[in-house]
A = this chain, B = another copy of it.
Amino acid sequence: MNRPQELHLPKGYRYATVYARIRKAKKDDVALIVSDTPATAAAVFTTNRVKAAPVLLAQANLRKSKGKVSAILVNAGNANCATQTGDAVAQETCAAVATALGVPAEQILPASTGVIGVEMNPALITKSVPKLKNALKTGTFMQVAQAILTTDLVYKVACAEVALNGGVVRIAGMTKGSGMIQPRMATTLGFIMTDAALPAPLLKTLTGAANEASYDRITVDGDTSTNDTLAVLANGASGVKVTKDDEAIFGEALSRVAQDLAIQIARDGEGARKLITIQVSGAADDAAAAAIARSIANSPLVKTAIAGSDANWGRIICAAGYAGVEFDPRKVDIALQDTVVCEKGLAAHFDEPALKKALDSTECTIDFVIAGRGQGRARFWTCDFTEGYIRINGSYRT
């Protein structure tokens, strides 16, 4: 997967960002992604009972517009969640953008990220709309990818070109997120654009599958946010339709882009120095494998051990043990960086200093293999747990 500047971006999309003083740091905090023609859209949202106003409006708009999106309006610095005026703010800002673009208000998909519970002044955005519209002439995909960041240290983009029967189509995505990350069927914010043409039901199916293999397989801290949104737009500007024959190849490319983005979130977890890839196999089914992987990925003891390059596999088998799924500990092999540290549930002989050195890498792998007839497999990504996470999250909001 290469960075988008080396590839062609999907046709028919324009981008814009402005600094609207929503966040204190002078860094663009409002962004617009516009599709020249209404795009077919699919989206998954947070499963948190507490849903931010933009999530609720995005869901309502998608229903009203029958899945058509002309623009994504996103701001960083304020989650517009748990506030008195949240719904009105989301509606008013979407309406202002819709008027400026000359499209129906329900074709605007809003998204917000930032602090929860602080009133957001809609005028900061509505007054910026003319400037935002003007910026569409020169704005870039990369500017938007940077404007949506909060505690992220790096921007996160991924793209693909896919040769279908009818011709080449392009997929490009961006995402953000570093803390409050355990999306569970959605993510913090992820936007994927393609210029392929495909019917809404198919896009929905492929988006769900892509999400399950990507955003639903990462955690930073086990905290599922109130604002998670993953939206996929398909505007057909390539003139290429995804045919029945192309579904698999297009779906796979979409999943790869989503997975690339999700892994970038895990790698950039708050305070993280290491990306941890967890592979579980031999579970009763994929869901059981994913539950074990998630339990390992969320264990602070596993994550601090990896931070300290400590081959403390006892914490790994312990975390698997409380995942809530059946397995026989006596059939478990565990490998770290491909070094077997646990065989049949017991300590294996290994070169501890050498493994410690191998674990100093910025990429660590945990393989958890249950011997037997189980076919369940899952891959999961998380990061190590360091003092940096505490520092970032223990500081006073103001």
A→B interface (CB under 8 Å): 47-51, 79, 81-84, 115-119, 179-180, 184, 221-226, 298-301, 304-305, 307-310, 312-315, 317-323, 325-327, 329, 342, 345-347, 352, 356, 385-387, 389-391, 393-398
Nearest residue (CB) in B for A84 is B346
- In the complex, the answer to whether B352 meets A310 with C-beta atoms within 8 Å is no
28 contacts across the A-B interface (CB closer than 8 A): A49-B323, A49-B326, A49-B327, A50-B320, A81-B314, A82-B314, A82-B342, A82-B346, A83-B346, A83-B347, A115-B314, A116-B314, A179-B301, A180-B315, A221-B300, A222-B298, A222-B299, A223-B315, A223-B322, A224-B322, A225-B318, A226-B317, A300-B389, A304-B390, A307-B390, A310-B395, A312-B397, A385-B394
Q: Contact between A393 and B329 (Cβ–Cβ < 8 Å)?
A: no
**Least CB distance, A363 to chain B, in whole angstroms:** 18
Q: Are A116 and B317 in contact (CB under 8 A)?
A: yes
- Report yes or no: A223 in contact with B299, Cβ–Cβ below 8 A: yes
Residues in B whose Cβ lies below 8 Å from that of A179: 301
Contact between A82 and B317, CB atoms less than 8 A apart: yes
CB distance from A226 to the nearest CB of B (A): 5
Is there an interface contact between A318 and B116, defined as CB atoms closer than 8 Å?
yes
> In the assembly, what is the distance between CA of A341 and CA of B361, in Å?
43
Which of these, B84, B180, B389, B394, contacts A308 with CB under 8 Å?
B394
Most central of A115, A321, A327, A346 by chain B CB within 10 Å: A321
Expressed in whole angstroms, the minimum distance between the Cβ of A281 and any Cβ of chain B is 17
- Contact partner, A222, options B50, B226, B300, B389, Cβ 8 Å: B300
Contacts A301-B180, A314-B82 known; A319 to B393 CB distance under 8 Å?
Answer: no
Q: Closest chain B residue to A314 by CB distance?
A: B116
Closest residue on chain B to residue A384 by CB atoms: B394
A205 to B156, CA, bound (A): 55
Q: How far is the CB of A22 from chain B (nearest CB, A)?
A: 16
A397 and B347: CB pair below 8 A? no
Min Cβ gap A60→B in Å is 17
With A222-B299, A329-B50, A346-B117 in contact, do A396 and B310 touch (Cβ < 8 Å)?
A: yes
Q: Would you give the shortest CB distance from A45 to chain B, in whole angstroms?
A: 13
Chain B residues lying within 8 Å of A389, measured Cβ to Cβ, are: 300, 304, 390
Which residue of the partner chain, among B48, B82, B308, contacts A345 with CB atoms under 8 Å?
B82
